[in-house]
Every structure is written in C-alpha cells, then in structure tokens.
Amino acid sequence: MATNRTFTMIKPDGVENGHIGAILEKITASGFRIVALKKTQMTKADAESFYAVHNERPFFGELVEFMTRGPIVAAILEKENAVADFRTLIGATNPADAAEGTIRQLYATSMGENAVHGSDSDENAAIEGAFHFSGREMF
Ligand code: RTP
Ligand code: MG
C-alpha cells in the first residue's frame, strides 16, 4: 500500500484535559510520522468552513462553539494506509462505542467532545491539511 497522509486535530477538550503528550505519543508509537504540527485556535469562520459538510446537522452550532472555545493541536501525519489506519486508532465517534485502547476510548468524554479528529478520505486529508498548514510548514 502506498505511503500517504492524513490530517488530525487534538480538539479543545483533549488540550484542556492535558492529553496532548499522551495522544501524540500514541500516534507516533502507532507508526505515524509527523509531517506538520502546531498549536492554534480556530475562529468561528474557520470552524464553520472546516465542518461545512455538517452545516445542516442539528449539532452544527454546538460543534462550532466547541471547536472554537480553546486551542487545538493540528497535525499532518504520514503512514501506509494513513486515513483508514488513523480512523481505526482513534475509534468510533461516540467514545461509548470506541474499541478498547483507541484514543477516543481512552481520552474522549462524549460524542460531541471526542478528543480528536481524523480525516475521512485522502481527498479530505489534503484539503484539511492545506487549511491549517502552508507548504513550508510540512517536512
Ligand atoms: P471527526 O470528523 O471530528 O473526525 O469525527 P467523525 O468523523 O468521527 O464524526 P463526524 O460524523 O464527521 O462528526 C464530526 C464531529 O461532530 C461532533 N458530533 N456531535 N452531538 C452529536 O450527535 C454529534 N455528532 C457528531 C463530534 O465532535 C464529531 O467528531
Ligand atoms: Mg468526520
């Protein structure tokens, strides 16, 4: 399988609860190489645009409020089969359904506040990575 990239954010709850180090350790120990990394905070416009696909959903306002309430850690990650393997590593959207040992099972608190984001396709990984990073921040 070709080496490729995915995009992740440690969401505001993961940062607030002090899990940046543990989550990054789990990611690198699982074979992902960090291509780009930064702590930043999304504006309302950023979050509305990033999650535009969900703008008709009942939880959209809550999601934007949550994603902008504090800093996040954004990263581009590289590994064979990166998108699918990273979704496996983070676990189900609802931590109550997340498999044992997954990042959401370990660190998420609810369906809305679920500690991490993971891109759902190669195409979205490229779009989301470019949303947060310029070419000269990728190594
Ligand atoms: P993500 O995009 O953040 O990696 O999460 P995902 O693919 O597992 O889930 P998705 O369906 O894309 O939903 C995006 C985020 O919206 C919040 N959400 N809240 N309260 C709710 O019913 C609800 N449903 C989704 C979560 O933060 C979810 O990760
Ligand atoms: Mg998603």
The bridge status of strand 33-40 relative to strand 3-10 is unpaired
93 and 111 in contact (C-beta within 8 Å)?
A: yes
CATH number at residue 92: 3.30.70.141
37 and 75 in contact (C-beta within 8 Å)?
A: yes
Helix (H) or strand (E) holding 48: helix 44-50
Q: Is 117 a catalytic residue?
A: yes
Question: Looking at the whole model, is its pTM more than 0.80?
Answer: yes
Give tens-digit pLDDT for 98-130. Answer: 999 999 999 999 999 999 999 999 999 999 999
Give tens-digit pLDDT for 25-80. Answer: 999 999 999 999 999 999 999 999 999 999 999 999 999 999 999 999 999 999 99
> How many domains in the chain?
1
Q: How many other C-beta atoms are found inside a 10 Å radius of the C-beta of residue 15?
A: 19
Distance from residue 120's CA to the centre of ligand 2 (Å)? 6
Residue 79 domain-assigned (yes or no): yes
Expressed as residue numbers, the domain containing 17 is 5-126
Ligand 1 pocket: which residues have CB below 6 Å? 54, 59, 63, 93, 111-112, 114, 117-118, 120
